[in-house]
Structure 1
Amino acid sequence: MRGHAVEATLCAEDPEDGFVPAPGRLARLVLPIGTGIRVDCGFREGDQIPPDFDSMIAKIVAWGKDRTEALSRLRRALDDTTAIIEGGTTNRSFLLGVLGRAEVRAGRYDNRWLDRLTAEERTCPPPIRWRC
């Protein structure tokens, strides 16, 4: 075994509203490519993300020679991702905010860290809302 891998799950959900599903038509979808990046996706641009099913759009996995490189690649991959949902939103900005936190970069978190983080006020970056 060598290197380090990290994964982010891009979902049609609203972090500001308790991560409830935020479905709608996937009006625009651009997924990242590049060295050390793998994307598993079950949707295409134009697809309807249903309100009564899993809100996952894609899993984005980044590999690097170490944790720092893997996190850097994942951040770049999320920066390069566009997912516009008519009438909905995604957790993309939340994921980018989490990746920017010192605790994540240092690997200092536990199974309840995210619960504690989201319970605090103003810790979640606002979702990106697009008008179509």
Structure 2
Amino acid sequence: MAEAGDSPPLLALDRLRGRYPYARCVGTIVDGRTVLVWLTTARGASQTGYLVTMTAADPQNPGPLSLYPSALYGWVRWWHNHAAALIDERTVTVAELPPPPLALDVVEAWCPYRIELTGHDRMTFPDVPLSPRLPVDPDGPEFR
């Protein structure tokens, strides 16, 4: 999870994807109530998945924005477990994931927060090239 800051949200999300190429779900905070989330459903020559805009239903009380991507990934796990239980004749893969729901409830410390999901765009991104690990600079931007 990262904040878009002055960068366009999609560019910030792509940079985050580059830093965490094996993550199934990453998000960029766009503003005080919106998170742009990339959800990977398939890997290979390119990454396929959904680009979803998650927005707090209550602008005065958006809840923990950093939990939005994990709430979406929790839905993926729930769907995968239940779809596999309903379809006995074959294994269901995450690649068969339908578009995300229109809303999710995130509960943190027993407080529910309604999140609306829009822009369920099915997208394909090229794979992120892997680069060798460089020494981490404790004064670098990732520690500020």
TM-score, shorter chain, exceeding 0.5: no
- Per the normalisation by structure 1, the TM-score is 0.28
Which structure has the bigger radius of gyration?
A: 2
User: Higher strand fraction: Structure 1 or Structure 2?
Assistant: 2
Ranked by relative contact order (alpha carbons within 8 Å, sequence separation 6 or more), the top structure is 1
